[in-house]
Amino acid sequence: RTIRVAAFKYTVDPWFEVDITTGQPVGGFIYEFFQKLSSICIEFDYIPCYQFEWVPIEDNRYYNGDFSVVNHKYLMNNTIDIAWSFDRKSSYVYPDLILTQSMYNQWYLGLIRKFKQSKNAFQIFAPFTVQLWLVIIGCIFFGGIILYLLMVLSSTKHMTYLTPLSYFYHVFAALLGGDEYRLYQIPPIGRVFRLGILFLALVLTSVYTANLVAFLTVPTYVYSGPQSMSDLTSAIACVPYRGTPGQYLVPSYAKTVITAPSDVDTLSQYDWSIKSLYAGDCDIIIDVEGNIINKALNNCDTLYIPPNIKFGATPVFNLMRKSDSELERNISLGILALLQVPDYLTLLSKEIGTI
């Protein structure tokens, strides 16, 4: 028997890929899943064999993401037998529809911005801020004057004539940790000065060493946006597709939710969300796992998936007519069998990027 499956007339990564010249589906998770489902009966003899024919549904891109209306119309006028969906509400909004076994269970994840930090040989001077340079120069200047005065007050037998710059040199050398002989020729009260210089040298060395380690081990990328569920509660979240379950689920987790304006068509809504993220109009994009992973892989230098933001398990299933309950049972048996074979993991890795 041939089963008619709803097909979009345009590509929706990573779920459905359409050849723009022929208008026929050629790839994507949904397409490849049904291709494998058609042959699962060879491995499991208790499952009936079916062939799947792709039937394009109307090309209306302004349904605000809610394709349940389209699916219901095409199912009930007997144009198609099965339609894939994320929207669980279809089964109770339309009591004449029934859900199959889920093809893939996914979570809602987030996308935030990431920036690459430059690294070069001059980074060893990074800890020397303007304020630190001013402190060092000030210490050398005043230390040199004090050292000169102490030498003047010392006994003549220890007094030697040095140029003014020499005193600054000896203080600077002491700050670098050098054991300067000039500081041994000053009177006993000057030993306090020497201890102060050495203590300052210890502080500067320790601070510089700690800061240098931090600068040299700084990660290649820095991230901007919420990185935990608690951070999400004070963030502005973009939900790419209007009318999808995410638009009603995400407000329970984020401070504010924004979606694309009504004049932005379905194919452009994700681009609108990414541009809004880059522009700082929102802090994070929230969507189902398959879409998020696909966008992150395509923008790996600028987008990042924070691992601690994950909620709202959402299945990818199929809608069928309730009157076709026996067919639904057989399709669900085939899906359950396909979920158990290694080819399914290969499919997840290839089309969605995860297992």
pLDDT at position 64, please?
A: 47
Q: At a CB cut-off of 8 Å and minimum separation 6, what does 301 contact?
A: 114, 116
pLDDT at position 235, please?
A: 95
* Contact indicator for 232, 285 with CB cutoff of 8 Å: no
Mean pLDDT of 231-236: 94
Transcribe 107-138 into DSSP letters.
EEEEEEEEEEPP--GGGGGTT--HHHHHHHHH
Q: In terms of pLDDT, which residue wins out, 313 or 324?
A: 324
pLDDT at position 314, please?
A: 83
DSSP 53: E
Mean pLDDT of 22-50: 91
pLDDT at position 192, please?
A: 74
pLDDT at position 62, please?
A: 44
Residue in this structure with the two tokens 């230390």, named with its chain if needed: 143
Highest mean pLDDT among 74-88, 181-195, 272-286: 272-286
Handedness of CA 103, 107, 113, 114 (dihedral sign): negative
**Is the pLDDT score of 48 beyond 50?**
yes
**Is the pLDDT score of 232 beyond 90?**
yes
**Is the pLDDT score of 180 beyond 80?**
no
pLDDT at position 313, please?
A: 83
Two tokens, residue 39? 């042959």
Q: In terms of pLDDT, which residue wins out, 26 or 192?
A: 26
Two tokens, residue 40? 């699962």
CA distance to 7, 38, 236, 251, per residue, from 17 (Å):
10, 19, 31, 31
Nearest residue to 293 via CA among 308, 302, 304: 304
**Is the pLDDT score of 337 beyond 90?**
yes
CA distance to 240, 289, 296, per residue, from 253 (Å):
16, 16, 21
β-bridge mates for residue 7, sequence order: 56
Mean pLDDT of 118-134: 70
Q: At a CB cut-off of 8 Å and minimum separation 6, what does 259 contact?
A: 238, 239, 240, 241, 242, 247, 269
Q: Which of 20-24, 56-60, 177-181 has the lowest mean pLDDT?
A: 177-181
Which percentage of the chain shows pLDDT scores above 90? 36
Mean pLDDT of 229-243: 90
Q: What radius of gyration, in Å, describes the C-alpha atoms of the chain?
A: 34
Global pTM value: 0.67
Two tokens, residue 163? 């140029």
Highest mean pLDDT among 29-43, 59-73, 104-118: 29-43
For 99-112, the pLDDT digits (tens) are 899 999 889 999 99
pLDDT at position 216, please?
A: 66
